[in-house]
Amino acid sequence: MSNELLVATVGLIGSLCGSVIGVVGSAKVLTYRVTQLEEKLKKQCENCSVMDGRVDKIEARQDVMEEKIKVANHRIENLEKKG
């Protein structure tokens, strides 16, 4: 085997190994970052469900207060008509 062929073969093997190592390393980093983003998203979704429950309670209380205001306004109108 000639020296040029040996150098070319070693260069090819080195290039292939470097490429494979780079791709595998990049895939590991990408997988890690996607996992971290999924965890953040999961936490935000949990917070959203808690907030949705609180908003529902506030809306229910608001409906009750609006109904009480309507009744009070109706009573005031009746008193004004009688007076």
- Convert the pLDDT of each residue in 15-73 to its tens digit: 999 999 999 999 999 999 999 999 998 888 887 777 888 888 999 999 999 999 999 99
pLDDT for the residue 82: 85
pLDDT for the residue 83: 67
- Convert the pLDDT of each residue in 40-55 to its tens digit: 988 888 877 778 888 8
The number of C-alpha atoms within 13 Å of 22 and in the hemisphere containing its C-beta is: 6
pLDDT for the residue 23: 95
